[in-house]
Amino acid sequence: MKENNENSPTGLFKLLPATAPNKVFLAILLGSLAGIAYAIVVPLVLLSLQPSLSRLMQPEFESSYWLLGTFEISSPTQAFFYFSIVLLILLCRVISETMVAQTSIDATVGLRKKLYKRISQLPIQSLEQIGQSRILTALNNDIGRVTEGAAVLPNILVAASTLVGMLAFLMYLKLEVFLFIIGIIVFGVVTYRIPLFFGQKHLVKARNSFDGIQEGIRGLIYGAKELKLNQQKKHAYLTENLHAYEENFAAAQKRGRFFLSVGLNYGTLISFFAIGIVTYIMANYYTLSQANLMGVVMVLLYITGPMSALINLMNGVIMARVAAKKLDHLLNEMPIEASGDIADPVDCQQLRVEGLEYIYPALNSADSAFHLGPVDLTLKRGEVTFLVGGNGSGKTTLSKLLSLHYIPGKGQISFDDQAINDNNREACRQSVSAIYSDFYLFTKLHGLSSENIDQRAMQYIKDLGLEGKVTIKNGQFSSTDLSDGQKKRLALLVTYLEDRSIYVFDEWAADQDPGFKEIFYHRILPELKLLNKMVIVITHDDRYFYLADKLVKMENGKVAEEINKDNLAIAALKPELQMKGFENVSDEKERLEADNAGR
Ligand SMILES: Nc1ncnc2c1ncn2[C@@H]1O[C@H](COP(=O)(O)OP(=O)(O)OP(=O)(O)O)[C@@H](O)[C@H]1O
């Protein structure tokens, strides 16, 4: 199994530039241009109000005017410059924001596609361990937050460039005030981080409760039937589980938001605090003319805009950082399965298992982990093998190893003389078709595109007794709203069409009616055998055990008994043995042989 050593794919600063570098560059360029243009607006307004401040315009323009109908436009060049700047801001901001929005959407889709790929590359055991809830929360919640956070970064640069422009103008107006404001900004940035730190801590807690909420919702939906029938159970489930998670979430979220709000308002307040100091105190110590004071105050008031924009944008960045951490954590827990490519699908006549062992990780330290094996087995094409044994004896675990879903901890599985390894596992998997009890029925025949596929599928639909229930057109089932048994028949149809060499059925017949059980054991399995398939059937239907070519009995994760066709044929003659699940069949065979010899 490959280690996941990719760099964090959710680095906020890298996300958008990595998605569309040119667009982001242009967005930042135009955004900064808009920011600088913004910074020019105040000096321009001041210029028109205080001609003495003018250093940009020639004096002759100041005294000229235009007539527009009955309207008189003073300082027309300056006015033209002003309106051009406003239009420039509009244009630059619209283009910049559109580019950021588009890149952000592409980044969201890109991140989701990346996660889809990583999910598809996950070993089955890791998928089972991580669980649906965490993956769904990451897809539905975290990715959106991350890209929203990444999308504010260009806006932060825009606000920052406006701020820099305004500070430059302030420096030009009064150096001492500029230095004081820089001091205030540094102080503000340092102290502002304190409430943000606490805010982020609580938001992380809130986010952690969200996985529990997601799992709780699953229980509420999938366990609806059980909860409907038991009022106390429903009440306890809602209050002890879902509501408890919701309350933890709400409490942490409220505390987090409170600290963020403190931070945001503190940031805004500190700007006004600075304006007060300049207006009421500094103006007395430094010789500031009325015009200069007005200019300085106007700049300071104007600075609060980009300052609060910066502070507000940090809110989104903090939420995004919480989500990004969660996402990174999940991605680091998702190993990439090394399984080779499928350039040459492998044909297999004989499947050999030697010293096969597998251990499930214990879910909690008090439980002992289930240990399968060591198992030695040889299965052949043209043979039907029944895996039997009590609940929890390890049948499904063994079959998931045989179908190459699980990777064994020890031992070896070979297809003919070829040992399965990381380089050929994917190719060998293409020889296997399996229906497990938690199978998923896709509504379309994905990856099957032969010309007469609909025709063949319709024939199987008839054979499987589903005529009138479902039809197929262009590989798409008309409906999958069927009974459990009927869905399993459709799943069987899909495996038929896939036409692989190895078939695994995990208690397939368990929810079929007696008539169709007969068809499965007496028609479908012999047909697959005739087609030279290797068939592995997990079953508790002891009435049909005698039909197997080989019966493998599991007990506590080990093969307790392996009975071949001859012995099974003898046992089949003894209805009382069928009832017992072929226990002591070897003793019975010896007894029959001794009887025959004595006769
Ligand atoms: N995903 C899992 N994680 C951890 N342990 C598991 C997991 N699946 C199964 N087990 C453990 O492995 C043991 C064997 O399970 P398995 O599903 O192979 O039994 P089985 O013989 O197919 O049982 P049944 O007849 O009930 O389907 C179980 O007792 C259980 O403790």
Segment 186-244, tens digit of pLDDT: 888 788 888 888 988 998 888 888 888 888 888 898 888 888 888 888 888 999 889 99
CA angle 575, 390, 517 (to 5 degrees): 55
Ligand 1 center to residue 552 CA distance, Å?
17
How far apart, in whole angstroms, are the C-alpha atoms of residue 560 and residue 551?
Answer: 11
Please tell me whether residue 342 adopts helix, strand or coil conformation. coil
pLDDT higher than 80, residue 597: no
Q: Specify the pairing of strand 502-506 against strand 432-435.
A: parallel
The pLDDT assigned to 250 comes to 93
pLDDT band at 5 (very low <50, low <70, confident <90, very high): very low
Nearest Cα residue to atom 27 of ligand 1? 391
Percent of the chain whose predicted confidence (pLDDT) is above 90: 21
Give the 3-state secondary structure percentages of the chain, helix then strand then coil, rounded to 5: 65, 15, 25
Ligand 1 center to residue 394 CA distance, Å?
6
Domains of the chain: 12-332 (1.20.1560.10), 350-441+480-598 (3.40.50.300)
Name the more confident of 372 and 592. 372
Ligand 1 touching residue 75 (CB < 6 A) = no
Ligand 1 touching residue 214 (CB < 6 A) = no
> Which of 109-113, 411-415, 580-584 shows the lowest mean pLDDT across its residues?
580-584
- Residue 58, C-beta contacts closer than 8 angstroms, at least 6 positions apart: none
Q: Specify the pairing of strand 558-564 against strand 502-506.
A: unpaired
- pLDDT per residue over 205-219, tens digit each? 888 888 888 888 888
pLDDT higher than 90, residue 385: yes
Ligand 1 touching residue 394 (CB < 6 A) = yes
Ligand 1 touching residue 391 (CB < 6 A) = yes
Q: Which of 358, 364, 393, 556 to mutate to test the pocket of ligand 1 (most atoms within 8 A of CB)?
A: 393
pLDDT band at 599 (very low <50, low <70, confident <90, very high): very low
> Which of 77-81, 123-127, 325-329, 509-513 shows the lowest mean pLDDT across its residues?
77-81
DSSP letters for 521-555? IIIIHHHHHHTT-EEEEE---GGGGGG-SEEEEEE
The pLDDT assigned to 574 comes to 52
Ligand 1 touching residue 128 (CB < 6 A) = yes
Are 43 and 56 contacting, i.e. CB atoms less than 8 angstroms apart? yes
Ligand 1 center to residue 196 CA distance, Å?
47
pLDDT band at 410 (very low <50, low <70, confident <90, very high): very high
Ligand 1 touching residue 125 (CB < 6 A) = no
The pLDDT assigned to 11 comes to 63
- What is the average pLDDT across 482-505? 90
Q: Which atom of ligand 1 is nearest to the CA of 557?
A: 14
Q: Which helix (H) or strand (E) holds 419?
A: strand 418-419
Q: Give residue for tokens 């300056």.
A: 78
Name the more confident of 579 and 384. 384
The pLDDT assigned to 508 comes to 92
What ipTM score was computed for the predicted complex, to two decimals? 0.97
Nearest Cα residue to atom 2 of ligand 1? 360
The pLDDT assigned to 579 comes to 46
- What is the average pLDDT across 138-149? 86
- pLDDT per residue over 501-522, tens digit each? 999 999 999 888 888 888 899 9
Bond preceding residue 76 cis, omega within 30 of 0: no
Q: Which of 122, 360, 398 to mutate to test the pocket of ligand 1 (most atoms within 8 A of CB)?
A: 360
Classify burial at 40, counting beta carbons within 10 Å of its beta carbon; exposed 0-12, middle 13-18, buried 19 or more. buried
Cα–Cα distances (Å) from 516 to 258, 319, 323, 505, in that order, read: 63, 55, 50, 15
Ligand 1 touching residue 539 (CB < 6 A) = no
AA letter at 139: L
How far apart, in whole angstroms, are the C-alpha atoms of residue 157 and residue 99?
Answer: 14
